[in-house]
A = this chain, B = another copy of it.
Amino acid sequence: MQPSNQICFLNGQYLPITRAAISVNDLSVQRGYGIFDFLRVVGQQPLYLADHLDRFFRSAKEMRLEQGLDREEVTEIIFHLIHENRLAYSGIRLLLTGGSSPDGFQILRPSLAIVQKELAPPPDTLLYQGYQLVSYPHQRQLPHIKTIDYLMAIWLQPWIREQGADDVLYHQAGRVLELPRSNIFIITRSGILQTPGDQVLHGVTRKQILELAAAMGIPVAETDITMDAIRDAREVFISSSTKRILPVVKVDGFELGPYTKDSIAAKLFEALKEKEQKSL
C-alpha cells in the first residue's frame, strides 16, 4: 500500500517516506504528546480541506504546539505532495508532535510531518451487512482535541476480536460517547437524528451529516445518548472520513436494524456521496 518512493514533508523538507524519521527524544515517542488530522484525497482533490485545517490548527493551539506554518503554507505542502505522488486515491495525515525536549517534558520546537498514503476508496454503496460493536467504559483524554492518544484503542484490539466485534463503542457514566475513530448516531423511534455533543471529537463527516440531515428536513439533536437509547433506536450508524457512514447491526450482541434503501442511514449516505462529488 505504501511504495517506498512516496514523498512526504518533514520539518521543512520533502523526502521519501522511508527516510522520514524523528528523534527518539521527540515528545510523541517519549510522552505520547501530539495531534494529527487525516483527510481523504480523490485524485488531485482533498475532501473538506477547510474543515480539516480548521480542526488541525485548533488542536495545535489547544495543545500549545506552534509549528510556524500558516494555513496557506500547509495547503501548499498538501498540494505539492498530491502533485508529486500522483495517487488515484489516498489519505493525507497532518502530524504535529511535541518535538525533541531537553527535559522530556517542556515543548520547545514541535515537529510537523505531512504524509500521503494510498487508500482504498470507501465502498460506493452502503454496506447493509453493517458493523458490529462491543461497548467499553472509557472516555478519551481531552476528547475535543484530535490527539495521537489511541493507547486504549490499540490495547483493546484483541478483546474486540474475541467479542466477535469490528470496533469498540466507548461509554462512560451511562452516556454513549464515540468510537476510537468514528462518531455515532441514532435515529430514534420518533425519527430524530441524535448524536452526542459533549466529550467527543467533532468529526468532519459528523458535521456534514448534521448539515445534510437538517437540509433533508430530519429533526437533529446533539444530546446525551444512553445505552438503552441505542437498543431502542430505529437505526444506529457511525461516521468517519474514511468510512463515510456504516450502519451498526449489533451492539454487545443486541441486534439492530435491518437497514433498507429507505433507511435514513442509506439516504444520508447517498446525500454525502453526492456532496463529495459536487465538491471535487
**Can you name 20 A-B pairs with beta carbons within 8 Å?**
A1-B102, A20-B23, A20-B25, A21-B22, A21-B24, A22-B24, A24-B115, A26-B29, A29-B97, A30-B95, A30-B148, A33-B151, A33-B154, A64-B155, A64-B158, A105-B153, A138-B141, A141-B151, A141-B152, A142-B151
CB–CB A29/B31 < 8 A: no
Q: What 6 A-B pairs have minimum CB-CB distances, sorted nearest first? A: A32-B32, A21-B21, A31-B150, A28-B29, A24-B113, A20-B24
Contact A142 B155 (CB under 8 A): yes
Give chain A's interface secondary structure class: mixed
Question: Assembly of this chain: how many copies?
Answer: 2
Question: A1-B102, A2-B102, A32-B32 are known contacts. Are A24 and B95 too (CB-CB below 8 A)?
Answer: yes
Interface residues of A (CB under 8 A from B): 1-2, 8, 10, 17, 20-34, 36, 63-64, 95, 97-98, 102, 105-107, 113, 115, 138, 141-142, 147-155, 157-158
Q: With A and B bound together, what is the CA distance between A147 and B107 in angstroms?
A: 19
A150 touches B32 (CB 8 A): yes
A106: chain B residues within 8 A (beta carbon): 157
